[in-house]
Structure 1
């Protein structure tokens, strides 16, 4: 499912116009992104939690040359599915 299909599904489920559903999806993506950028997490009970995970610096290997390279520490967005979502999928 891509973004436009998600907007169509939300519009049908919530019985709202597609334009309004599109604004809602854009707002949710924006708010989740801003919250993660601040280092906080977003928890949706029954769905899951969006959070930021820390990746430590590590040594990697350039696949073309085989030379060792240093990979810097970084933060990466992550999603941890909630129990209700896991049960629904299984």
Structure 2
């Protein structure tokens, strides 16, 4: 992955393969399992915190009135659950370099 690119599952699996010496198939499976557990926890309403990285936080937003920017007509926006990411202080410090 180059500068400014996107880190993919395959990239993560390659890092696991190169650093830990697992086979490519085992590395890909490990990445998939970690992501699966994270997704499952979030779908069950649990927040996910990875120390030194950040937290995936679920919030329930109530119903509210929004406005169509083109027409100006008010529209009801249904209640929903949203996920936000909050980077840890360590991550924010690394990014700010």
Structure 2: 5+ residue stretches without partners: 1-6
2:16 maps to 1:10 = yes
> Number of residues paired by the alignment?
90
Q: Are 1:35 and 2:37 matched, yes or no?
A: no
Partner of 1:81: 87
Residue number in structure 2 paired with 1:26: 32
CA distance in 2, matches of 1:48, 1:21: 23
Q: TM-score, normalised by structure 2?
A: 0.77
CA RMSD, Structure 1 to Structure 2 (Å): 1.8
Q: Shift in Å at residue 70 of structure 1? A: 0.7
